[in-house]
Structure 1
């Protein structure tokens, strides 16, 4: 990996479900008006952080909320890939954590299964595939990923060599920008969850 280049993560802008804390995996929920505003701000923030040099690669989740965020941020997506899709919550799709805990006390996505959905190990495998592609592209320039909260948290953990469940330690707000890189070959978090707000 080259120290001067970096991986930039953008979580999609706010949706009605994300604002309410509803688990949103497969369901395509549109951005709110505020989500659109923050997506545009995320684009300006990205330019302030990395300049305007063309990135080596821009990948997006196939969900409309991620692709629309990329568009509003002024990004030209190189490829849309299921590998960047959000955690598949299975039977818990659309439910909040308090609602799930009415059935399964103490439930979290990090410690309990999602019946009919994905496991943390499966998410970790997807993140590992993405990281491998990022490593291959970084010598040619920055890489930008536009995706989702839980998946991106697993990816940050994987970048640091931690297990998928360590993603619980990293918070990512809607339209927040994070920057991952390395220092002389040692993976590092350069910036985490920089908010897309007006300065």
Structure 2
């Protein structure tokens, strides 16, 4: 087996109070809600069904990601700031409607965040994460445990689209995405994998 036979799996952390309310959360280190803990445990069921090959598990340093990994039954091999959420800077803790009161057409994918990361910076960091995964996928699967916007950024760059297209992908809290290959072409093999009942709304 070689590179094209292995997968990059992305697991978004379970629900927090701020993900529930739609507040942008990067540096703020929130715990999972009770619902988030259940979501993380259910993610473990999906991971077991994927039959991963000697997975290298890398987690964001935030407690919500580390707790999700533990509850999902993952043994974290590396904690890396590379997988931290998009730095929202001045928009930390604000919802999109609140931000749009002053910047009506604002989306993180088009505008970035003052005092935080720009679109170009996140795109470059996502490319670095993809490169890291590819360097290990000759011999094993790779699992990234992280956050909504940055996981979607990795997906977008995995399929070699400009970062603005990340707005077209969605990851429910506690859900998984699978990136792989078909005939040597990088593809998104699955998105939104979850064992959660009625898993149809953001959070």
TM-score (normalised: structure 1):
0.95
Q: Following superposition of structure 1 onto structure 2, how do residues 44-123 of structure 1 map, counting pairs within 5 Å?
A: 44-50=45-51, 53-55=53-55, 57-123=56-122
Aligned residue for 1:24?
25
Tell me whether 1:179 sits opposite 2:175 in the alignment. no
SS in structure 2 opposite 1:66?
helix
Deviation >4 Å, runs of 4+: none
Distance 2:165 2:194 in 1: 22
Distance in structure 1 (CA, Å) of the matches to 2:170 and 2:22: 14
- The match for 2:190 is 191
Quote the offset at 1:124 in angstroms.
Answer: 1.1
Aligned to 1:4: 5
* Count of residues in Structure 1 that have an aligned counterpart in Structure 2: 197
Structure 1 residue 35: Cα displacement? 0.2
CA–CA distance in structure 2, aligned partners of residues 100 and 131 of structure 1 = 30
Checking the alignment, whether the CA contact within 8 Å between 1:175 and 1:196 is kept in structure 2 is no
What pairs up with 1:151-162 in 2 under 5 angstroms? 151-162=150-161
**Residue 201 of structure 2: aligned partner:** none
2:137 partner SS: helix
1:8-57 Cα offsets, whole Å, 9 max, x none, are: 10000000100100000110111000100010110111111225x431x1
TM-score (norm 2): 0.93
Alignment root-mean-square deviation, CA: 1.4
Give yes or no for contact 2:40–2:71 (8 Å, CA) kept in 1: yes
Other-structure match for 1:42: 43
